[in-house]
Amino acid sequence: MKIVMLGAPGAGKGTQAKMIAAKYDIPHISTGDIFRANIKNGTELGKKAKEYMDRGQLVPDELTLELIMDRFTNPDCVNGYVLDGFPRTIAQAKALTASLEAKGEKMDFAIDVDVPDENIVDRMGGRRACVACGGTFHIKYNPTKIEGKCDLCGGELMIRDDDKPETVLNRLSVYHTQTQPLINYYTEEGILKTVDGTKDVNKVFEDILEILG
């Protein structure tokens, strides 16, 4: 099963993507996580990506496409995957569709986790990420059992650089201009499904499972 997660930054698509990946035993592929891992390891790709990420801008399509196409060659992708944060532009979506078509494959579902703008700023301000394992939480919507400690590994939680208030508004405007058009793109492809992302994390997941069947 091949799934694309859509939604504004902070809508909770990453959390849902991880839950889907665990349930269907397919990899969760997050371009943001791959960029952050490259930054942590000090790679050339990481250095280039960081300049854009710190400003809340998108990393150029050429860099992103090279990275993701390489990731698809990993054997763990044979039974599909859930994409989180890719595609983020129409050019990326077209490149993805073309690369699947070349292999006689297609995307099965595009799931839009819909959350109105007024909730997004509040949500992104409350996001916390584990410095050790990358687990993501929210102080209000997905709290850890012990404040400031990761439920998965006990690591320290932090606010991502690009979740800081000055970057959040920029990311939201980038989302509207560059990524939201993908909702039309996947509607036209006939695979768009929308879930109400303002509901409780587990309820959103139930709604997604109903769609995936």
Positions marked active-site = 13, 88, 127, 160, 171
Q: Which CB, 15 or 64, lies closer to ligand AMP?
A: 64
Residues β-bridged to residue 6: 112
Taking the C-alpha atoms of residue 181 and residue 110, their distance in angstroms, rounded to an integer, is 13
Residue 127 makes contact with ligand AMP by CB under 6 A: no
Q: Does 197 bind ligand AMP (CB under 6 A)?
A: no
By beta-carbon proximity to ligand AMP, the closer residue of 39 and 208 is 39
Segment interacting with ligand AMP, rule: CB under 6 A, options 29-37, 73-81, 105-113, 182-190: 29-37
DSSP codes of every residue in 74-105: SGGGTT-EEEES---SHHHHHHHHHHHHHTT-
Residue 15 makes contact with ligand AMP by CB under 6 A: no
81 binds ligand AMP (CB under 6 A): no
Residue 112, strand partner residues: 6, 194
Give the nearest distance from C-beta 80 to ligand AMP in angstroms: 18
List, edge to edge, every strand of the sheet that includes 157-158.
Answer: 136-138, 127-130, 157-158
134 near ligand AMP (CB under 6 A): no
Options 4, 59, 168, 208; binder of ligand AMP; rule CB under 6 A:
59
Between the alpha carbon of residue 37 and those of residues 42, 45, 131, 187, the distances in Å are: 9, 10, 11, 32
DSSP 3-state of 73: coil
Of 4, 5, 6, 9, the residue at the interface with ligand AMP (CB under 6 A) is 9
DSSP symbols for 26-56: --EEEHHHHHHHHHHTT-HHHHHHHHHHTTT
Q: Is 64 in the site for ligand AMP (CB under 6 A)?
A: yes
Per rule CB under 6 A, is residue 35 in the interface with ligand AMP? yes
Q: Establish if 86 lies at the interface with ligand AMP (CB under 6 A).
A: yes
| Tokens, residue 38 | 């490259």
Which residues are at the interface with ligand AMP (CB under 6 A)?
9, 30-32, 35, 52-53, 56-59, 64, 85-86, 88, 92, 162, 171
